[in-house]
Amino acid sequence: FDIGASLYSSARAGGDGGSSLRWFRNRYQNLTGSPQPFDHIYAWEGQEYNATVLWDSFPAQVVPFVSYYNVRADARPNAKHNPLRVLTQVARLDDHVVMKLDVDHQATQVALIQQVLGNRRISALIDELFWEHEVAGSAMGCPRLWKGRSGHGWSTMRFDTSQGRGGTLAESYELFGRLRSLGIAAHSWV
């Protein structure tokens, strides 16, 4: 499950990172030795792409295993495009589920994480979680890291640091700790 997927072959236009879809496939190919390490890939991306550009970014052998939703992930619990709702419909407890969350929208990401933490049916399905939790106080907010480029990365983000909003580094540690206490191998994603 790649929530904030960009294109398979590259990062989204204007993005600073690489392709998470390609990275995960390559990484798990190396770990499993299988040319197709995932039974299926579910991806959400809010940046609208031309269908030809989107699907041309995928290798032909990957296309049959992909469900790509070119819409913003919706954090409302029973929303049509809530990835966690879809997860509960398609995953089984014996599946190895890897999820990445990076939609560059604090409220959406924290709401989805709170759903994972608050619903054992959901959390029991997730084995690994990679989350780019953008927070105030992180070294990722240092403008020097972004080589002084205005309008890039975390250096331009504003965070809701109100208690309980998940916008501080201390709250990030607490959320990651709670995910791990549920048995989810939770990693920071950048």
Terminal Cα-to-Cα distance of the chain (whole angstroms)? 16
pLDDT in tens, 101-143: 999 888 899 999 999 999 999 999 999 999 998 876 555 555 5
* Measured torsion, CA atoms of residues 92, 47, 116, 155, in degrees rounded to the nearest 10: 140
pLDDT in tens, 8-50: 987 544 344 568 999 999 999 999 998 889 999 999 999 999 9
Distance CA(155)–CA(105), nearest Å, equals: 14
Cut 0.95: pTM above it: no
Close Cβ partners of 16 (under 8 Å, ≥ 6 residues apart)? 146, 152, 153
